[in-house]
Amino acid sequence: MPQISAFIFDLDGVITDTAEYHYRAWKRLADEEGLPFSREDNEALRGVSRRESLLRLLKGKVLPEAQMEEYMARKNAYYRAFLTQITAADLLEGVADFLAQARAHGLKLGIGSASKNARDVLNGLGITDQFDAIGDGYSVSRTKPAPDLFVWVAGRLGVPPAECVVFEDAEAGIAAARECGMYSVGIGDPARVGAADLILPNLAGAQVDHILSRLANLAH
Ligand code: B16
Ligand code: MG
């Protein structure tokens, strides 16, 4: 039976749903600049960095670096205005219970988020102190699907990658977990997270015991 010692959670789309706020912030910028941007377009920004999000929003349009920087700063200011409203009520259903179960199992808990705002989101949710390590958009330079962020978090937790399970809602995040030999649990649409070892619609009602035994039965 494989040993599993840590759970590493993505933030947006797994612990809370900040995707709506990212969408509204990008949409405001796009409207101001006369750039077409829909909710469907926003789905392609899930889990990717701020710069990569802007590149995808620009759909091939090339801008000078200074203008890219200004767009990213403006979008981030709009996004951060939403963050001031975040409270424990914004935890996705089942998350508080799932974290408590994982702790009771003696698992180490980490965050592996692409966001440079991850600490502020966690503080707003009131759960910062539940994690033994927090990896965010400042921790490494290569973003998901590179495995660097999850490897960084595992290092901080003092756990080998092969003993970690990543919970992710984005295709790039599942690819990153697989790349470094971690187990992966995909949260949400199988069209996005179909490459994961296990897929769950969300963490509502999820049982740590059940997940550990299903992963133990996989050839890894
Ligand atoms: P920021 P995650 C990601 O969070 C979001 O899903 C993605 O939409 C966003 O562009 C990215 O963080 C960077 O966020 O602009 O706050 O640095 O899913 O990795 O927790
Ligand atoms: Mg995510």
Whether residue 197 lies in the annotated active site: no
Q: Is 115 in the pocket of ligand 1 (CB under 6 A)?
A: yes
Cα(152)–Cα(133) distance, integer angstroms? 9
In a domain, 108, yes or no: yes
Nearest CA to ligand 1 atom 12: 115
Q: Is 11 in the pocket of ligand 1 (CB under 6 A)?
A: yes
Whether residue 12 lies in the annotated active site: yes
Q: What is the DSSP letter of 109?
A: E
Give residue 1's pLDDT: 55
Bridge partners for 167 per DSSP: 9, 185
CATH of the domain at 66: 1.10.150.240
> How many Cβ atoms sit within 10 Å of the Cβ of residue 84?
8
Nearest CA to ligand 1 atom 14: 115
Give residue 218's pLDDT: 84
Same structural domain for residues 69 and 43?
Answer: yes
- The domain tally of the chain equals 2
Interhelix angle for 50-58 vs 19-32, to 10°?
50
Q: What tens-digit pLDDT sequence spans the chain (220 residues)?
A: 579 999 999 999 999 999 999 999 999 999 999 999 999 999 899 889 999 999 999 999 999 999 999 999 999 999 999 999 999 999 999 999 999 999 999 999 999 999 999 999 999 999 999 999 999 999 999 999 999 999 999 999 999 999 999 999 999 999 999 999 999 999 999 999 999 999 999 999 999 999 999 998 886 6
Give residue 143's pLDDT: 92
Same structural domain for residues 50 and 73?
Answer: yes
Looking at all shown ligands, the one closest to residue 24's CA atom is 1
Amino acid letter for position 9: F
Nearest CA to ligand 1 atom 7: 47
Give residue 198's pLDDT: 97
Nearest Cα neighbor of 182 from 170, 194, 198 is: 198
Question: 32 lies in which domain range?
Answer: 19-83
Same structural domain for residues 31 and 112?
Answer: no
